[in-house]
Amino acid sequence: MPRLTRCYIKTALVYLALALLLAALLALPYNLPLPTYIRIMTPAYFHLFLVGWVTQMIFGVIYWMFPIVNRARPRGNEAIGWASFTLLNVGLLLRVVGEPLVSLHPEGWFGWLLALSALLQWLAGLLFVLLAWPRVKEKYRGG
């Protein structure tokens, strides 16, 4: 299994555990004393689950299992894969931190964290599409 795939999958599993922990906290009754920061993390929970767990698991498996590009570089440009991984995770972490901050302080500059987060995640997705696109083909013809 390629190192990048292992990183995607292990990171996805960490995000799954965090998302499930956050879901459990969010499901607690409101009369239990939890910090407001936790109570307003529903959007962050969805991002941890869908981007952190689902998307990264899919990206990792695609990078590993899709047909090879050629024998010299079977998975394409690995640097693009690492750039996508890094941008996706930095963007997700900015989202998890920024989302509650925007809710608590809508007048502040924290909205820029969400914009930057969205841009980084979009770039990560675009890079991954560029990496995976040549591997979506009818049949391997050698080479």
Say if residue 92 is exposed, middle or buried (CB neighbours under 10 Å; 0-12, 13-18, 19+).
Answer: buried
Average pLDDT over residues 119-128: 98
φ/ψ bin of 35: left (φ > 0), alpha (ψ from -120 to 50), beta (otherwise): beta
Question: Across all residues in the chain, what is the average pLDDT?
Answer: 91
Confidence at 135, pLDDT banded by 50, 70, 90: confident
Residue 53: the pLDDT is: 97
Determine the straight-line distance between the first and last CA of the chain, rounded to whole angstroms: 22
Between the CA atoms of 117, 111, 17 and 58, what dihedral angle is there, to the nearest 10 degrees?
A: -30
pTM score of the predicted model: 0.90
Centroid of chain to Cα 109: 24
Structural domain boundaries in the chain: 3-135
